[in-house]
Amino acid sequence: MTAARLAAQPAALQTAGAGLYLLIDPLLGDPVLPAPLDEGLPDEAINSARTEAWQRPTFALQLPVGLPMDTALAPYLVELTGASDPWLDASVQWAIQETVQTWQGDAPISVPHRVGGWLQSAAHGQALADHLSTLLRLRTQLPTQARYLRLADRRVLGLTTHVLGKVALTASLPLVQHWHWLDAHAAWASLSGPAPAALADELPLGAPAPPLPVFTPQQWQLMDQGPSIHRQMAHHIAHQLTQPDCAPPSRWASIGAAQWQAACAPTLAMTPGLGPQT
């Protein structure tokens, strides 16, 4: 499967004129640091330790204000040298391994998904990190104690894309040319921003990026059931693998809307007042 996914990388990854960034979610472990960073470190020290480990520039995202979580656990970007950077292939392999582990384990939601995806942008790394930080602040029409939308976990990104729709989501990505990730099938999925190269030049210096749309009550109820939905999807895939007529996973296409609906169906059925999402 690894060879197939590496050979089938999205053509957009070869696009010239945009920087390539690897998004990492270190909440449950960092892929390159030998030990967790000390709590309370300033951003400069955090980025310095990561830059030394990766031998690449790194840029920390900012967690939502008031979140009781150490800043070293926030997602961060690694600036790659391009599509030929060896860290690209290595991180694709990690993402595949993480996904396959969810098919094999009894508690798939507990498997760390450290690779949030690969982003292409004409923006400087710090500007892109600041922009992505605005997307981590959860905004809903329902009262909730949750504040953090963990989009650097690609499972959350996939569900958010399904719930909000690609059009609404990409409207909040003016600095992102493409966002690629591996979905629950370990297949390539992508979002493309709205002509980001042009918009990046038009945005005033220091202007705040547009946040994600506010989740409606129905949308947030579905998002709030994310762990159950991801578990349902992983169990379905594990069952699929036992069928004699199952195509090899290396040939699987990305998760489609119908498959998301099927994974969400048990949650929809058990949650009063929660109807299907489109």
> Average pLDDT for residues 234-256, to the nearest whole number?
93
**pLDDT-wise least confident of 173-187, 212-226, 232-246, 261-275:** 261-275
For residue 278, the model assigns a pLDDT of 32
Q: What would the pLDDT profile of 5-57 be if each residue is shown by its tens digit?
A: 999 999 999 877 789 999 999 999 999 999 999 999 999 999 999 999 999 99
The CB-side HSE value for 171 (13 A sphere, CA atoms) comes to 9
Residue 81 CA to residue 87 CA, distance in Å, equals 9
Decide: helix, strand or coil at residue 141: coil
Q: What is the pTM of this model?
A: 0.91
State the Cα angle at 152 between 181 and 212, rounded to 5°.
100
> Average pLDDT for residues 215-230, to the nearest whole number?
93
**With 80 as the cut, is the pLDDT of residue 205 above it?**
no
**With 80 as the cut, is the pLDDT of residue 106 above it?**
no
**With 80 as the cut, is the pLDDT of residue 269 above it?**
no
User: Which distant-in-sequence residues (6+ apart) come within 8 Å of 231 by Cβ?
Assistant: 107, 108, 109
Which residue, 177, 77, 202, is CA-closest to 121? 177
Beta carbons of 181 and 189 less than 8 angstroms apart: yes
> Average pLDDT for residues 102-109, to the nearest whole number?
72
- With 0-12 / 13-18 / 19 or more C-beta atoms within 10 angstroms meaning exposed / middle / buried, residue 128 is buried
- Residue 132's H or E segment, with its range, is helix 125-135
